[in-house]
Amino acid sequence: MAVNSEPSSVSLPVSGIVIAVVSSFINGSTFVLQKKGILRSRDRGGSYLTDVVWWAGTLSMIVGQIGNFLAYNVAPAVIVTPLGALGVLFGAVLASWILKEHLNILGKLGCVLCCCGSVVLIIHAPKAETVTSRLELEERLLDPVFVVYALLVVLLLVILIVWIAPAHGTSNIMVYVAICSLLGSFTVPSSKGLGLVAPNVFGEGPSSSRALALFLGLLGTLAVSILIQFFFINKALECFSSNMFEAIYYVTFTSTVILASALLFKEWTALTLTDSLVMLCGLTTVCIGVVLLRISQEALITWKKKTD
């Protein structure tokens, strides 16, 4: 028995890594294909909802997220999550080939710094405590710190969507990026929560009304978050280059998910001084990368105005 169990313990992480790498490449093509579909439909004067390339990008997003879900179930998150940076780099290469979106040297350096800084943040982020039951999840969801954070995120999203996005969304990429990233504070915890609550709802034995209400609440939160995020992703792709949006979005989404998970699962209690300093360095690297991408974007806009 010991001989048979050893290969399986080694093969599971390997399979998870393989799935994560494939999913990262699929996710990297998502924004490029959707952007291509938007441009094609704009040339035809129609809606991108009727464009086959845009739907191919949407399908790749669905397949990529399913792949991520499978990878997280067969390999540790600290191994799977950093591999998402491969999608950013692949997306930049694909955008340069398909969309002719060429980054200058500052843009390329900013993209690399964003990916490196995000990987450092993920590796040294506090690891989630094990939550194995619905009761534990309910206790964490009602924690005052997480409740206050969730309310602040909702308030910020309302301000961004209702007032800031209509006025500055088309001119500042950070508006749409902030909206899509903040929604990650709800999508990832909701996905994890559904996995914990589902056995109480669909498993053997009587289903409690409390478990069903929590399941429907998490499912509704997940659905609304994904739909709003999907809408603003396409709004961003209509105005900005796909490789720049994907790089900044990956950074901010990862950061908000780490923060939300740390608050929900009280992970900061296990954070060491060394990890805190390394995460600060990683965050600084990310900020420098984002600034370089912004400078690259402004330089590109200035160059286009001069050529026109």
d(CA 256, CA 174): 14
d(CA 29, CA 22): 11
Taking only the tens place, the pLDDT of each residue in 29-76 is: 898 899 999 999 988 888 888 999 999 999 998 898 788 767 766 665
Q: Is 77 exposed, middle or buried (0-12, 13-18, 19+ CB in 10 A)?
A: middle
**Look-up: residue for tokens 């309310």?**
151
Higher-scoring residue by pLDDT: 62, 5: 62
Taking only the tens place, the pLDDT of each residue in 292-303 is: 777 776 666 666
Taking only the tens place, the pLDDT of each residue in 180-200 is: 989 888 887 787 778 778 888
Q: What's the pLDDT score for residue 10? A: 40
Please compute the mean of the pLDDT values over residues 282-287 and round it to a whole number: 78
Q: What's the pLDDT score for residue 270? A: 62
Running DSSP on this structure, what letter comes out for residue 267? G
The number of C-alpha atoms within 13 Å of 17 and in the hemisphere containing its C-beta is: 7
Confidence band, pLDDT 50/70/90 cuts, at residue 155:
very high
Confidence band, pLDDT 50/70/90 cuts, at residue 111:
confident
Q: What's the full length of the chain, in residues?
A: 308
Give domain limits for the chain: 12-303
d(CA 185, CA 29): 24
Q: How far apart are the first and last CA of the chain?
A: 72
Q: What's the pLDDT score for residue 175? A: 93
Please state, rounded to an integer, the average pLDDT across all residues of the chain: 79
Identify whether the C-beta of residue 249 lies closer than 8 Å to the C-beta of residue 180.
yes
Higher-scoring residue by pLDDT: 270, 261: 261
